[in-house]
A and B are shown apart, each in its own frame.
Chain A
């Protein structure tokens, strides 16, 4: 028991900020931003503090808080972090802090925008720190729902031509508009959360001690039949959010339509909620189910990796490229988890972190490029390196991390996943995974060359580099990417303390 409820502070500080913004900062855009920066800054400071004071030798769940809410039903406000959630909390903090700065120049209804963004982040933190399944689900919904408004109001529209045998449906649904993207994302994720809810109730009923507590469920152990079906429910439910093939199509549309900070948060953190859910609830509570379905999970992950990379290569809209690269990289995350080995799971969690930071950086950069050039069409751009060297450098760093270059965080996650894949029950997973990194190199360098290298495109005038608060976002994210790539032990250390007990339950 810590005297200060630090996890509650982390979780609720952004929500407090949101309330403050709604009630006090009307028509004062600077105040809105300052409140947002301060409240997320508090969360970030606290998450850094818990990250570095977490006792790695003791491991397990620390900074524990518990407050009974509905004793008859066994619902409690129960928080705690282990090495895995610790890293995810840090990731959330870094991304939201950068996101606040990245949307500094937003002009339309910034008060509501920031309030919703902060409310959403409270949901994200909540999922990572909750140890009560019911509360976890509530936070999960809180994290998913504001997205609808954020994309529907502040989003942008892309052009999609109706083609193929389903062309008629495209006209009816309005594919490409921001309203379409918002609706698609929300419906998809709610569809997923229905599975999660069913899974949670199934565990509640079968657990036998009338409690939603994660720790009690972990100790309970479930019947293999229950495990089989509940794991599948969790895999589908959380997997949708993690972008598993073929249930991933909400993500490119959603990410491409969303405003910068929302794309950053969504691809950077929300997709990790899905992967985290699969690892924590799926593998953590249902080890037999995990072993049973590992082949499916890993194989679909391999499809994700290769398919996502190829689809990214085919895109002409910059934001879609990054969105599909997320689909591809989430494949690495799921593959690492499916290997059910120590390096694989370490790699999976590390990759969640690395991908979160890198994709956050990518979306911040795409937002900047769009803001300067008013275009996202890759093949219209060219030679931007001369006018925006800073953005070009940051884009290259993100790209290198994306293609798994050593000394960036991307390499560590992927390499650990490779090790895990070859040690798993299905070693051939290694081949598509490594091929994926090659394909990533192809599309990332191709895009980089097209946009930043070569002679300057004549279509654009008076382009400028990033400036002021925009730099803060780029600097934070690039820095984290490189530091964690060079000193992976900082992150792998605590993660490993969480992964090892998890694996011990598997082989029990």
Chain B
């Protein structure tokens, strides 16, 4: 308990120091040191915690919002094995990313660097808070803070219009999902009278959850759709590449997008009672996986390829959760967290060396950057699902779960995605690291501060895989044909990439021509981004303009008309008082006459 609190409190301490002591923040490296030391402490605490076996979940609560007859909302800590594992992943990736950033961003001015580390500390704190949250409200609080930090870090280079746009887009899109999330939380509270996971799980276990939770849980799931970039709210993630590369590594591996999957895993006992929602989750997940994989195939920006691969892998996780196998989803979340961080950091090293993120401007990097090349290859093999790397086992677990769930459609989509994944990842490898064309300049391997995190992650990617291969994980129940199938798919994908981009027996252009409709649509991102832009510009802003006009010229216009009417009525009455006694007498006479007549009529 103390360790968990320590892990949570250290990044917060770093954040408070950096936020409230401007000289420290402006010193840049000083702020970085504080951040790294604190998150390193967190990592140590998390690792220590992970080694200690845990019986029942540890729960501790404090009052946050009081109400008559007991607190309405509490804050606290809920520690179970899932949270333990997640703590290690988050602190590890955050620590390595912060270390790596020190070198990657060394040319930033000191105040900007300080700002960067301030956001990083807050980010680590928020994600740890989310992982440890004991109830939906606290989870939502940290959930939003994670979104805020992503917004701030994606927009870190706020002077670039593209970064500013991407940051805002990320915030808006995830916020759209959060509308569902928050309504879902309120509905759930009304139905069960509590936000607390322990209480809710207790109800679920006892089968005393009220009926008709499908809509509620669907709304809560919408939150995950936004955060974990599921179709149709996946649009923000590829654009989020506008942030510095280490930030992408953090967002894609352990924080932002992981939050959605983590939430579904955490609240799974509640999702388990609503099979309708699970089915939707599986189909949407599988569809997202396939859709993103096709878009990754036509992308030339190395970071965007990785971004689409993240969307795609998140689809896998959600599909597994939808197939009622949260453990498979969580396992894939963990392994993916490690090798995706690895891939992004390695890509960052390549970009750093070449000065561009376009794979067509890279080439034969393997010779110039052997270290980066090796770790990138490790990551790629893991992502493609090649034995015995970590990704193989988790992906197989997902496929196996989906098959067991009798979800044939999603299974086929995921299988096809596996093939595409290997193809597009090896396309990057062949074009950027082995291709014939050579970019100008003399790219060189990353400095040690960047290389160490790469090797650590590379080692872990292999080690996790080997450990599962040797010992057999709890989620790994080998099934001969499935193993063969997934290895075959990965092999086929690699082969396609090899013959097209390395051996060049088939020209990429011919391949594109053969699949023209898909190619055409994928390059335009299936028009989804455009549709959002159209809705935003046309409908929301248009409607806003209309309301603004109505308010100014109709609602307020009526008032002004009334006021102008009063003024001119006063003006008219003023004219009667012209100062001539005859007119007044005439008026009095008329009035008298009118009164007399009136009195005669209404006697």
Contact = CB atoms under 8 A, between A and B. Distances in A.
Contact of A407 (B145, B176, B559): B145
B560 A166 contact: yes
B588 interface: no
A489 to B, nearest CB: 5
B186 A314 contact: no
B161 A454 contact: yes
Contacts of A422: 186-187, 189-190
Nearest to A499: B68
A132 interface: no
A60 interface: no
Contacts of B563: 169, 172-173, 184
A488 B567 contact: no
A419 interface: yes
Contacts of A249: 551, 555-556, 559
B549 A314 contact: yes
Given A166-B560, A173-B563, A442-B540, A454 B158 contact: yes
Which size bracket describes the interface of A in this complex? 35 or more
B171 A445 contact: yes
Contacts of B155: 453
Interface of B: 63-68, 72, 111, 137, 140-142, 144-145, 148, 155, 158-161, 164-165, 167-168, 171-172, 175-176, 179, 182-183, 186-187, 189-190, 536, 540-541, 543-549, 551-561, 563-565, 567-568
A446 interface: yes
13 contacts: A165-B553, A169-B564, A313-B540, A313-B548, A314-B547, A343-B72, A385-B158, A411-B144, A418-B186, A422-B189, A437-B179, A449-B167, A492-B66
A441 B553 contact: no
A316 to B, nearest CB: 9
Contacts of A314: 544-549
Contacts of A315: 548
B564 A386 contact: no
Contact of B66 (A383, A441, A493): A493
B545 A489 contact: no
Interface stretch (A25-33, A36-44, A116-124, A427-435): A427-435
A412 interface: yes
Contacts of A455: 159, 161
A406 B144 contact: yes
A400 interface: yes
Contacts of A456: 159
Given A313-B548, A422-B190, A386 B159 contact: yes
Contacts of B187: 422
Nearest to A485: B141
Contacts of B63: 489
Contact of A311 (B164, B182, B190, B544): B544
Given A173-B564, A342-B68, A489-B66, A445 B182 contact: no
A500 B68 contact: yes
A452 interface: yes
B303 to A, nearest CB: 21
Contacts of A406: 140-142, 144-145
Interface in A391-435: 400, 405-407, 411-412, 415-416, 418-419, 421-423, 430-431, 434-435
Nearest to A396: B152
Contacts of A443: 544
A378 B553 CA distance: 21
A454 B553 contact: no
A18 interface: no
Contact of A172 (B144, B172, B568): B568
Given A385-B158, A422-B186, A246 B548 contact: no
Give me the 6 closest cross-chain CB pairs, A-B, nearest first: A314-B548, A166-B557, A164-B553, A313-B544, A406-B141, A169-B564
A96 interface: no
A435 B179 contact: yes
Nearest to A383: B159
A316 B172 CA distance: 21
A346 interface: yes
B176 A168 contact: no
A366 B152 CA distance: 22
Given A314-B544, A407-B145, A442 B172 contact: yes
Contacts of B186: 418-419, 421-422, 430
Contacts of B546: 314
Given A423-B190, A492-B66, A496-B66, A170 B560 contact: yes
Nearest to B556: A249
Contact of A405 (B148, B159, B540, B544): B148
A165 B165 CA distance: 38
A343 B67 contact: yes
Nearest to A504: B68
Contacts of A313: 540-541, 544, 548
A262 B536 CA distance: 35
Given A169-B561, A383-B159, A310 B543 contact: yes
A349 interface: no
Interface in A480-508: 488-489, 492-493, 496, 500
Contact of B158 (A438, A452, A489, A500): A452
A96 B183 CA distance: 36
A407 B140 CA distance: 11
Contacts of B140: 406
A496 B557 contact: no
B558 A166 contact: yes
B137 to A, nearest CB: 7
B409 to A, nearest CB: 32
Contact of A454 (B65, B164, B555): B164
Contacts of A173: 560, 563-564, 567
B271 to A, nearest CB: 21
Interface centre among A175, A310, A386 (most CB of B within 10 A): A310
Contacts of A407: 141, 144-145
A160 interface: yes
Contacts of B190: 422-423
A262 B145 CA distance: 33
A307 interface: yes
Contact of A430 (B158, B171, B183, B540): B183
B12 to A, nearest CB: 11
A163 interface: yes
A439 B552 CA distance: 19
Contacts of A346: 65, 67
Interface string A463-490: 0000000000000000000000000110
B547 A307 contact: yes
B560 A418 contact: no
Contacts of B543: 310
Contact of B557 (A165, A412, A437, A453): A165
A68 to B, nearest CB: 35
A170 B563 CA distance: 9
Contacts of B179: 434-435, 437-438
A434 B66 contact: no
A167 B175 CA distance: 39
Interface string A237-258: 0000000001001000100000
Contacts of B158: 385, 452-454
A454 B242 CA distance: 13
Nearest to B159: A455
Nearest to A487: B64
A3 to B, nearest CB: 30
B308 to A, nearest CB: 25
A489 B64 contact: yes
Given A164-B557, A405-B148, A422-B190, A311 B551 contact: yes
Interface centre among B111, B167, B544 (most CB of A within 10 A): B544
A506 B64 CA distance: 27
A164 B160 CA distance: 40
A160 B552 contact: yes
Contact of B65 (A165, A431, A492): A492
B183 A431 contact: yes
Contacts of B68: 342, 496, 500
